[in-house]
C-alpha cells in the first residue's frame, strides 16, 4: 500500500506533538546554579523562574522568613541535575527569565514547593490558568497543616 504525501504530513504533525504550549526553550537541561527558591540557572546560560510559585526572598541585605530554607530545598532537588521543563502560554517574564514547570526524576518541583510549604501560589494569567485550583488546593493543605512558611512565619512574606 503506497504512502501518500498527505499521510506523511499528517503523521509528522501527530509525531511533533499535540500540545498547545509554546516551545520557549530547552525541554531538558542541567541546573548549574540555584538563585533562590523559585529561580535557577541552566548550563546554556538561561535563567528559569518557576511558574505558579513564589518563595520568600533571599537577596543581598534581604532575608525573609524561610527564604534560606526554600533556597536550600530547591538546591537539594535540582542542583547539578538534568531537569525537564514544560512551558505555558507566555515564555518569559519582564526580566528575560524563562517561565516553566520544572521536573526532576519525574517529580514536579513547582507543586512540591507549594505542597511542602516552601512557596506560596503566585498566579500571573494567562500562565497557570488551567492549574490554578490544583495549586490553591496544595497551598490550603500546607497552610492548614502549618507546613513551612505557614508554621514558621508571621506574617507569611509571600502570602497574597
Which among 29, 27, 63, 49 has a CA at the least distance from the CA of 94?
A: 49
Name the catalytic one among 57, 90, 108, 134.
57
Counted residue by residue, the chain has a size of 160
Is 147 designated active site?
no
State the DSSP string of 55-93.
Answer: PPPEETTEE-TTHHHHHHHHHHHHTTSEEEEE--S--B-
Name the catalytic one among 29, 46, 97, 115.
97
Is 113 designated active site?
no
Is 29 designated active site?
no
Name the catalytic one among 29, 46, 49, 69.
49
Catalytic residues: 49, 57, 97
Amino acid at each position: 500500500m503506497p504512502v501518500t504525501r498527505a499521510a506523511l504530513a499528517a503523521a509528522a504533525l501527530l509525531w511533533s506533538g499535540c500540545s498547545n504550549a509554546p516551545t520557549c526553550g530547552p525541554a531538558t537541561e542541567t541546573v548549574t546554579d540555584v538563585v533562590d527558591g523559585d529561580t535557577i540557572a541552566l548550563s546554556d546560560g538561561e535563567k528559569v523562574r518557576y511558574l505558579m510559585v513564589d518563595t520568600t526572598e533571599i537577596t543581598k541585605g534581604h532575608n525573609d522568613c524561610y527564604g534560606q530554607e526554600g533556597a536550600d530545598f530547591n538546591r537539594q532537588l535540582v542542583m547539578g541535575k538534568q531537569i525537564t521543563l514544560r512551558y505555558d502560554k507566555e515564555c518569559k517574564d519582564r526580566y528575560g527569565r524563562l517561565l516553566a514547570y520544572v521536573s526532576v526524576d519525574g517529580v514536579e518541583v513547582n507543586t512540591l514547593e507549594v505542597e511542602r510549604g516552601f512557596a506560596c501560589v503566585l498566579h500571573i494569567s494567562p500562565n497557570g490558568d488551567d492549574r490554578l485550583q490544583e495549586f490553591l488546593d496544595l497551598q490550603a493543605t500546607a497552610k492548614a497543616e502549618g507546613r513551612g512558611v505557614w508554621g514558621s512565619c508571621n506574617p507569611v512574606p509571600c502570602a497574597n
